[in-house]
Structure 1
């Protein structure tokens, strides 16, 4: 059994209307969730396939870090799917710097975050002091690199060029990129 702590304001999303989301996670990941809505603690117990059960805590963590349940459940699509977090706070000197760095990752009107998703096929969410990524290993790696470049102060144009280049490499290498992003080849 694993224990995951999620923010209070995400518990309702994890449970879902009438417990619907919680039941869907339990059924698809073959786990049992024991949610303490007082303190945000979630006990995740594997009750079926142990490999699926290993994804249970990450699904709960992903929802806790701002992902909609549908995106978090993508972790079950394939055993190589990953959930990763970039700690924005660790790269910031103070609260003002934290806000600025978070703004750089989001971009004007959310454009930078959207480009990370479009050009990699990963799901990207910025919530609190973290940037969350769900995708195949290469997708996650590219988003993490782009985020770290922005946090280190790289110009947006350079990061966009980097994302374009990696997007073309992934397409060229014949990765199952389109399968993950839902695009047509």
Structure 2
């Protein structure tokens, strides 16, 4: 059994209307979820295929970090799919710096985050003090590198050029990975 803690304001999303999302995760990942809505603690018990069950904690974490359940469930569609978190707070000197860095990652009108998604094919969500990514290892690595460049103060233009270069490399190698409908913006 594994335990994951998620923010209280995301418990409702994890459970879903009438428990629908929770039941879907249980069925798809072949696990049993025991959700403590008082403290956000989720116990995950594998009841079927252990490999699918191993993805369940990341599905719960992803929903807890702002992903729509449909995007989090993409982790089960391919064994290569993975979930990654970048801690914005760890790169910040103080609260104001954290807000500024988070704003730079989002970009004007959400443009920087959108470009990360469009040019890599990964799902990218900024929630609280984290940037979460769901994608293949290569997609996740590109998003993480772009995010770290921004957090280190690189100009947006430099980061956009990096993303476009990586996008063209993936396209050239035939590794372009199209996003599934239903990803959350």
TM-score by length of 1: 0.96
1:168–1:66 Cα change, 3 Å: same
Moved over 4 A (4+): none
| 1:24-47 Cα shifts (integer Å, max 9, x gaps) | 000000000000000000000100
The residue aligned with 1:69 is 69
Where structure 1 has 5 or more consecutive residues not aligned to the other structure, the ranges are none
What CA distance in whole angstroms lies between the structure 2 residues aligned with 1:102 and 1:52?
33
What CA distance in whole angstroms lies between the structure 1 residues aligned with 2:92 and 2:12?
30
The residue aligned with 1:108 is 108
Aligned pairs for 1:1-185 (under 5 A) are 1-175=1-175, 177-178=176-177, 180-182=178-180
What CA distance in whole angstroms lies between the structure 1 residues aligned with 2:24 and 2:105?
31
What CA distance in whole angstroms lies between the structure 1 residues aligned with 2:142 and 2:99?
23
In the TM superposition, what is the alpha-carbon distance from 1:80 to its structure 2 partner? 0.7
What CA distance in whole angstroms lies between the structure 2 residues aligned with 1:23 and 1:81?
21
Where structure 2 has 5 or more consecutive residues not aligned to the other structure, the ranges are none
**RMSD between superposed Cα atoms in Å:** 1.0
Number of residues paired by the alignment? Answer: 181
What CA distance in whole angstroms lies between the structure 1 residues aligned with 2:37 and 2:180?
35
What CA distance in whole angstroms lies between the structure 2 residues aligned with 1:118 and 1:130?
19
Secondary structure at the counterpart of residue 79 of structure 1: coil
| 1:83-108 Cα shifts (integer Å, max 9, x gaps) | 00000000000000000000000000
Secondary structure at the counterpart of residue 3 of structure 2: strand
| 1:50-71 Cα shifts (integer Å, max 9, x gaps) | 0000000000000000000000
What CA distance in whole angstroms lies between the structure 1 residues aligned with 2:168 and 2:138?
13
What CA distance in whole angstroms lies between the structure 2 residues aligned with 1:77 and 1:121?
15
In the TM superposition, what is the alpha-carbon distance from 1:181 to its structure 2 partner? 2.1
TM-score by length of 2: 0.96
